[in-house]
Structure formats: structure tokens, C-alpha cells
Amino acid sequence: MADDQKSIYYTEGLPVPETPPPGEEPQPWEKTDVVGKPLPRVDAYERVSGTAVYPSDVVLPGMLYCAILRCPHPHARVKQVDTTAAEALPGVRAVIGPDTPEADLPWFFRDAKTALFPRTCRFEGEPVAAAAAETPYQAWDAAGAVQVDYEVMPYVADERRALESGSPRVHEGGNKLKTDTYSRGDVEKGFSEADVVLEQHYRTEAEVHTPLELHGCVANWDGDELTVWESTQGVYAVQSKIAGILGLPLSKVRVIGHYLGGGFGSKLRTSRYSIIAAVLARKTGRPVKAFVPREATYLTMGNRPPSNMTLKAGVKNDGTLTALKFSCLGTGGAYPAGGTSLVDWQIRELYLCPNVSTECTDVYINAGPARPFRAPGHPQCSWALEQMMDALAGAIKMDPVGLRLKNVPAYSQGRSGNPPYTTTGLSQCLSEGARKFGWEKARRRTAAKNPDSPIKRGVGMAASIWFVGGGGPPSTVIVKLFSDNSASLNMGASDIGTGTKTIMAMVAAEELGLEPEMIRIEHADTGTTQYATPSGGSKTVPTEAPAVRDAAIQVKRQLLKMAAEEMNLPVEDLRYRGEKIVSRSQPEKEIRITDIEGLQKRGVVMGVGHRGPNPENKTVNPFCVQFCEVEVDTNTGEMRILRFLSTNESGRVMNRLSFDSQVIGGVTMGIGLAATEMRILDTARTGKMVNRNWHDYKLPTSLDVPADIVSAPIEMPDAEANITGAKGLGEPVTIPTAAAVANAVYDATGMRILDSPINPLTLCSVLEQQNKEG
Amino acid sequence: MEQSNSKQERNKRRISRRSFMAGIGAGTVCVAASGHLFAAGDSQAAEKVLESDEMSKIRLHINGRSHQLLVEPRWSLLYVLREKIGLTGSKEGCGRGECGACTVLIDGIPRYACLTLAVEAEGTEITTVEGLMDGEKLGTVQQAFVEEDAFQCGYCTPGQIMSVEGLLRKNPAPSVEEIRTAVSGNLCRCGAYTHIFKAAEKAAESRRK
């Protein structure tokens, strides 16, 4: 990149889109020169050199380290906390707990109120006390020296038993949080019209996010102003939570999150450690660093809830779906946390079906509260629906791709009023994906099995929709053009590793006719950057990119106006050409941007951009279809994933390089749900989580993923969605993965694995069952 | 218990996870596994036991420079690198030898800095991700990671880079399977593995030129 930079200070000849006059909406780009290219990240240098300062890298003069003592029981009353011994240890500067006046603060899980240090701990890992000391080692010594007298209470750790009579109660009101229902048409009538009706129970295990950077922050007071460096997906969300709990004006709380080492939804919300760090920092008059140890992140920093699903489906012999009936029992843990959020959405939405009913029951158990986890509810639902579609296709002897193609909707069936999609590439994803994967040939090949070999190959596929992904207001972005025609871009959004900053630089570059390297990004700081909602829901690009484009257009309009005055020409006659502004009628008349006196006098020209509204009565959604090939050793139960192809319709491809990175990342994470990940609670004896580390809770490693993961986007710039034509990508890409693997395993072995994960243990027990049944 | 009788031998000593665990097992304050307290040729000196807040003076060779500092015997090399020396390129993902975000080269071999005591690392050559730079210029592996977009959030990246660097120093033309194995101790939750394989291949190629 360095060599390129030398020649780009003033860009020559980079075409620039027409600048719409004030009051006129810009049209989507017809062709682009920067957007869509495979560009390395603007912050790649920082990330590979070690110079990027993640919140966990912040070291301030005089900084103390915080250690939080956590409840070791899934359900217990904290009778007494004695901090005397802890306070006397070397290096210890403060110890706080439920009896410390300044730490006597409320805490909320949605609308359920508890405390910073609750007297009743409803899940393992709730904070009981905290210490600040000169080194983390001393802080942990202190936390370990706090004497706590617990009254251990009965617990329930299995959501399937939470509603049994006599089950211990998580809350006084009982263990049922709610049941949500949905219906359209008449499912019983639908089943009676079907040629084939199948019913099956499915289960997906709870997954834990475990981003590589631990959850944590550094808190520092300057008088009555608090600054927090937080590993977060949304600095403004953290700011409002901290200010609310501590009773501070928003203006006095600055949250900075320039980098974060992964979140996947677990860093959308604020955690109690941030408040604890702020309290300890105020009490000691020193900056305090509070990072949660890995084991505690398993217990307290969220999870994808387990889902117990039953799906009954009816289909006609020609592939027409007649009815879908779905129920799910799930749990968000010990507090309201979306235990069954969106878990029925694909049933309602993905395929044409006139008769649908769903019922989702969310219960409490004594386990850590869930947090949104990359496409909440969707991969679970996909596990059930897409295995069912595969089984239906088999039953009516139709190709699984063909069955899906037969039932592609053009409008949203799950939303009231049935709004049409602005665009849907589901059909193209299905047919193009099948073609690029070589689906039909592969199916023929895997059908011809060698009965003498224990090694069986199979292919599988699955489709999906993400229920949002179009983004929307609010978003404000400022683009500043400096007098030398370089620019800075100021936005509040976080780049959670998806390449947001790079894409925004590309959008501004496209519009201003600059190279992206000429644009400096300021972001994710409530003290200095504009308001943004957290980066999640696959909405960051479709939310922020249009605001960036708008801000760049505002800059161009001002410069055109200045140029018109200085050139004594009407503004309508002028065109913005990147390095200069030229007259349409008299092409010899032109002015370099850097020669515009108004710009030179002011030093900068600033454009303020906003995210416009979404289209009315339409819905914006991304789609994804994936294909894979697996190999199963029926002797050992080992399964190898040989290749994957993901075809995504996410509107315009903004940066082909980071697009592909997100695709392979989503597939890799989906392989975790399919094959390696499960939270294990010791439901019978202690209620504790027994695999709270990366040895026992296995993430996909470099040995578990195929080197052959192909990203094959279906690019359909969505002119109605927003002025950049982009839709979200990060979540759709992980939704169908696990189901595609399960379907491939079925193709290989003839066995349906109904409960995740597909590991040698589950495969062997299913294969053994198969042998017994002959 | 490891014992070494000459400085030269000590320098060659390989730090093993077992020796680290033995150190912990003997009590948090006993640095039985550490070589630096042993007087040359006198194994009896190993009996010395430090108090928990007793600091010892050590010298670490990091990225070609020598750092003299006071450490508690229980401090990990990772803690000293990040919080005391300010080399925050090496990351902490777990602190217990599971993720590899803290991978550094010790005498050219990739090691987990979280499982290495600072006192254990004395007398070795430590290379962190910062040490691969030539001034502001990226090293070959770093450059390949940029070009192949071999990361997303970037937090595991320094560790991945050090594992690849260690591989390429030993094996200039690795196969994909060898690359896979080399980074199998480095977790990437963003799932960039396939791009990491490509970056490693590209780096190998660029070093051969």
C-alpha cells in the first residue's frame, strides 16, 4: 500500500458521482470505482503491527487492577461478606461489596431489578465483592481473601425441568417468563391437504460467544468527569447505561472503544464490571482496569440459549408447503434475556406457506443471562427448519434445492401487512449456489456409496433469511475536507472487526474522488464522535454508509457553491471532479479544489450527513444459502468438513475482501454450532458450568475448518434500501451453516442428527442405534 | 525440577508447560522451576524461597533490547510484556494456555507468554510481534496478513503471526497441512483461518524471493 500512497496525494482521473443539488435525493451509484473493490483494511497496519490500542491494552499512570469475586453457586443468598482480611493484604487499595455504601447501586436485566452486588445470586458468577490493587495478582489475592457466608439454595439448571411442579424457583413468581404465539391460516387444514406430513423434535445446545478479547474496561475520573475505555460494540449504549446507574449527566461520561477484540453480540450491552471499575476508581482516586477472566466470561457474559424445538410440516407431492407448526422451549437464564427471541422467525418468513403457527416458551433457570449472539434465534430455527425441508424433499423425492426454489416468497409473510422485500436474491442464491458448488453432480456422486468402506461422503445445503439487516436512522456522520483535499470522517459506530471503517472510507472516497488512504477515521468515542447505535444486527454498513455518503455530498455541495462564486459561474454549470471542479459549458474553465479560496480561508469544509428513512411499506432483508460436503468415518464417528460454499445476497458488495472474510468467519462460527460447541451444566449435582474454558468448550480451530470455503456473492445493489444499496452480511452468513452440515451428514450416513453438536460422541451413539435397529 | 549448571545451558533450556505447573504446584511463592536463582554449580541454592511480595531483579532480552526490571516470581512473561514494558502487541485471551493470543518467540520457538513466568524467560531471546517490524515497515508475515485480510477483529492476530513466523523460520516452504498444525494452538473466534492459511503461504513465498 505504501507505494500506492505516494502517487495519490491528488487523485487524477478518479471519476466522481454527480452531486445532486440541494433538496434532491442522491441516486444510487450506477458504477463504482472504489466501493466493491477488494481493499485491505485502513487499520490493517495497526492491527498486525501491535500498535492498535485495544481497551485491554490501555495502561495509565497509577492504574490499579480490579478483581471481582463471583458467587460459586447457581443459587445462593449472600448472608455476610467480610473484607477485613482482604483489605490488609499488600498492594490492596480498596475492597467493595454489598455493604459498601458507594457500591450500593441497582442493576437491571431488561426490566428486572437486582443489585450491583446482589444479596440473592441467581446464577453462578454474580458479583459478590471486588478489590482494586496495585497488580492484578494482588487484586486476585484480595478477592480470594474476602470471606463470604453463603446460604446455598436449591437450583434448576435444565430448562426442560424448569416448569415441573416442585422445581426450585428462580424468581418468586415462578420459572415461566412468557409464551409467545403466532399464527396465520389454519395449520390443521394445511396438514389435511398435505401428501406428506412429518414431525420431529430438535435441540441445539447453548453456545457461549467467547470473543478473544476479554470483556472489560479501564475507568478513570477527572474530578466529576468519567472516562471509560471499554471493549464494546457500542460506546453510546455504554455511556447511557453508566450515566444512568451512577446518576451522572451524559456529558460527563466519555466512553472510548476504538478497537475491540470481537463481540458477536456479547458486547452490545453494558456489564456490571464497568460500574464496579468506576466505583473503585472514584473510591481510590486512581484509574482502574477491570478485565473479566476467561472462566467468568463463560458464566456471565451471555450465551446463545439452548432451544428445544418441535416442528411439524406438511408438503404436497409437487413441493408446495401446506403447513408448518413449530414450538420451542428455551431459556435466557436467570433473568429476562430473550431465551426464545426470534427463534421462530424463519418458520414464519423463509418459505411460502399459508398455514403457520408457532409457540415459544421462555423459562428461567439458574444460569447466566443470554445476550444476543450473532443472528439471535436464527441458527437454532434453521437447524430445525432446514433439516425438516431436507426430510420433506426426501419424502417426496424432490431435490432439496428444487423444493426450496418452489417456495420462495416475494414478500414478508411474518410481518403484518405482508410488505414486499425491496429485493430478494433467495432464488439466485439457490440456483447460482447450486451451480457453483456442483450440487447435482455431487449428489449423484455421494449417492453411489461403497458399502464396504466405513468412510462415507455426503453433501448438504440450507437457506436462510435474516429478519432485519437493512439498518436505519438514526445516524449522523461528519466529513471534514481539509485545505489540501484530504479528509477526515467522524462517526460514532464501532468497527467490530467487520471492516466498517474501511467501508466508510471507501464510501467517502467514492463520493469525493479520493483514495481511501487519504481519509482518516475518527470513531467510537462519545466525547468526540457522533451518535451511533451499537454495531450489531448486521446493520452497521446499511446504517452508517448512507450517512457517510450524505456527509460527503454535503461537502461537495458547499465546495461547488464556493467555486461558483469564485469562478463567477452558475452552480448548476459546475461538476465535482475529485481534484477539481470544472464547468460543463466551458470545459476549459476549472478550479482545483485546493485553489478554492473559501476552503483555504476556512481551513476545512465540513459536511454533516444523516441516515435517511427506510422505504415505506417494504422490508429490507439479506439472504444466504450454503452448500457443503462432509466425510464421516462410521467406525469412529469422526466427521470432516471438506468444503463449503456460501452464496449471500446482501445488496451491494462494499468491499470484496472483507465481505469474503465475514463469509468465511460466519461459516467457521456455524461449524462451531454444528460440530464442536456446547455449554455443559452439571444439572444433577451442582448446577455449575463444567466446561468453562477453551479446552473443554471447544471452538473450531484451524484443524476443524476446510481450507476450501468459497464466498460467492449474488450482488444486487438495493436501490430502495438506502443510497448505497448495501444490506447487512455478518449475521445471515452464520445462520444456515449448522443445518447444512447436518444435512450433509444425513446424506453421508442416512442418519438425522437432531441434537447439536455433531461430534464423535453423538455420531457414534446414533450409528450404534442404527446398527441395533439393523 | 529443572536444574542447569551453566549459563550456556540455561540459555538453551526449553521452557515447558510442565515446569511451569511444577512451579505453581510448589506454592505460589516458590520459584523452584526458575533457573535464575540457582547459583552456578550449586544445586543447594534451589532451596531459597521468596516471600510473595519479594521482588527479584531480572534481565529480559526482548526484540534485541535488554530490559532490567524487578518482578514478582509469579508474574507471567505476558503480564510483564504488556503491563510493565508496554509491549501490548501480545494479547491476553485466556491467561491459561488455551488461545495462543499471547504467542511470542522464545529462542525462535512459538511459546505462550501467559504460561511462561517472567523469571523463567531470563536468558532467552524473546521476540514479540513488535519485534518483527523494521522501524515502521511491516515484517513479511505481517504484510501478508494485511494483503490476505487474514483477520477480522485482530485480537488473535499477533499470536497467529508469531506462530506463522516461528513456522517459517523452521520450515520455509510449509504445506497447508503444516500451516494448519502450526496455528492450531491459536484460536480465532472471528474464523479467519482460511485467510490465515493463505497469508502464511504468501509470506513463505515472499521470503523465498
d(CA A706, CA A484): 47
Spatial strand order of the sheet with A92-96 comes to A92-96, A127-133, A64-70, A288-291, A216-222, A225-230, A253-256
A538 φ/ψ sector (left φ>0, alpha ψ -120 to 50, else beta): left
Chain B residues with beta carbon closer than 8 angstroms to that of A214: 92-93
The one-letter amino acid code at A285 reads G
Contact A442, A459 (CB under 8 A): yes
Say if B105 is an interface residue toward chain A (CB within 8 Å): no
Nearest chain B Cα to A232, which residue?
B153
Q: How many CA atoms lie within 13 A of A529 on its CB side?
A: 26
Residues of chain A with CATH 3.30.365.10: 28-54+471-610, 307-469+618-773
* Minimum mean pLDDT range among A759-773, B65-79, B107-121, B133-147: A759-773
pLDDT of residue B28 exceeding 50, the answer is no
Query: With respect to CATH, is domain B7-131 assigned 3.10.20.30?
Result: yes
Percent of chain A predicted with pLDDT > 90: 95
Query: Quick one: cell of A736?
Result: 444456515
Spatial strand order of the sheet with A574-576 comes to A574-576, A580-583, A590-592
Contact A68, A61 (CB under 8 A): no
Between A and B, how many CB-CB pairs are < 8 A? 190
Query: Quick one: cell of B39?
Result: 547459583
Query: How many other CB atoms sit within 10 Å of the CB of residue A216?
Result: 23
Query: How many other CB atoms sit within 10 Å of the CB of residue A761?
Result: 10
d(CA B58, CA A450): 64
pLDDT of residue B37 exceeding 80, the answer is no
pLDDT of residue B17: 40
Question: Do the domains B133-208 and B7-131 match in fold?
Answer: no
pLDDT of residue A8: 43
Say if A703 is an interface residue toward chain B (CB within 8 Å): yes
pLDDT of residue A473: 96
Contact A735, A461 (CB under 8 A): no
Question: How far lies A433's CA from each of A426, A430, A622, A627, in Å?
Answer: 10, 5, 15, 7
d(CA B198, CA A95): 49
Among the CATH numbers 1.10.150.120, 1.10.1040.10, 1.10.10.10, 3.40.50.1970, which is that of B133-208? 1.10.150.120
Map A335-402 to HEC letters: CCCCCCCCCCHHHHHCCCCCCEEEEEEEEECCCCCCCCCCCCCHHHHHHHHHHHHHHHHHHCCCCHHH
Percent of chain A predicted with pLDDT > 70: 98
Query: With respect to CATH, is domain A307-469+618-773 assigned 3.30.365.10?
Result: yes
**Sign of the dihedral defined by the CA atoms of residues A448, A451, A453, A459, in that order:** positive
Query: How many other CB atoms sit within 10 Å of the CB of residue A27?
Result: 11
The neighbouring-strand residues paired with A351 are none
Among the CATH numbers 3.40.50.720, 3.40.50.460, 3.40.50.2300, 3.90.1170.50, which is that of A58-153+212-262+267-300? 3.90.1170.50
From chain B residues 21-60, the ones with a CB under 8 A of any chain A CB are 52-53
What is the average pLDDT across B124-131?
98
Contact A366, A300 (CB under 8 A): no
B107 φ/ψ sector (left φ>0, alpha ψ -120 to 50, else beta): left
> Any idea how long chain B is?
209
- pLDDT category of residue B139 using cuts at 50, 70 and 90: very high
> Any idea how long chain A is?
774
Quote the DSSP letter at residue A72. Answer: S
Spans of all domains in chain B: 7-131, 133-208
* Among the partner residues A137, A291, A699, nearest to B189 by beta-carbon distance: A699
- pLDDT category of residue B52 using cuts at 50, 70 and 90: low
Question: How far lies B173's CA from each of A491, A501, A702, B203, in Å?
Answer: 43, 34, 18, 10
- pLDDT category of residue B20 using cuts at 50, 70 and 90: very low
Contact A264, A665 (CB under 8 A): no
A699 contacts B161? CB cut-off 8 A: no
Name every residue whose Cβ is closer than 8 Å to that of residue A564 and which is 6 or more positions away in sequence. A570, A571, A573, A574
Contact A624, A711 (CB under 8 A): no
A51 contacts B184? CB cut-off 8 A: no
Residues of chain A with CATH 3.90.1170.50: 58-153+212-262+267-300
B142 contacts A213? CB cut-off 8 A: no
A91 contacts B155? CB cut-off 8 A: no
Nearest chain B Cα to A48, which residue?
B142
Chain B residues with beta carbon closer than 8 angstroms to that of A675: none
Helix axes B140-148, B157-170, angle to 10 degrees: 130
B151 contacts A702? CB cut-off 8 A: no
d(CA B59, CA B68): 4
For residues B26 and A264, the model is more confident at A264
In 3D space, the residue among B164, B156, B64 whose CA is nearest the CA of residue B110 turns out to be B164
Say if B178 is an interface residue toward chain A (CB within 8 Å): no
Name the minimum distance, in Å, from the CA of B1 to any CA of chain A.
24
Chain A residues with beta carbon closer than 8 angstroms to that of B96: 294, 693
* Among the partner residues A213, A498, A701, nearest to B152 by beta-carbon distance: A498
Name the minimum distance, in Å, from the CA of A232 to any CA of chain B.
12
Name every residue whose Cβ is closer than 8 Å to that of residue A391 and which is 6 or more positions away in sequence. A198, A200, A752
pLDDT of residue B35 exceeding 50, the answer is no
Quote the DSSP letter at residue A731. Answer: T
pLDDT of residue B51 exceeding 80, the answer is no
A49 contacts B89? CB cut-off 8 A: yes
* Among the partner residues A53, A667, A702, nearest to B183 by beta-carbon distance: A702
**pTM value?**
0.94
Query: Quick one: cell of A510?
Result: 467514492
Write the ipTM: 0.96
* Below-70 pLDDT ranges, chain A: 1-13, 774
Q: What is the CATH number of domain A28-54+471-610?
A: 3.30.365.10
A136 contacts B184? CB cut-off 8 A: no
Say if A207 is an interface residue toward chain B (CB within 8 Å): no
Name every residue whose Cβ is closer than 8 Å to that of residue A284 and which is 6 or more positions away in sequence. A64, A93, A94, A132
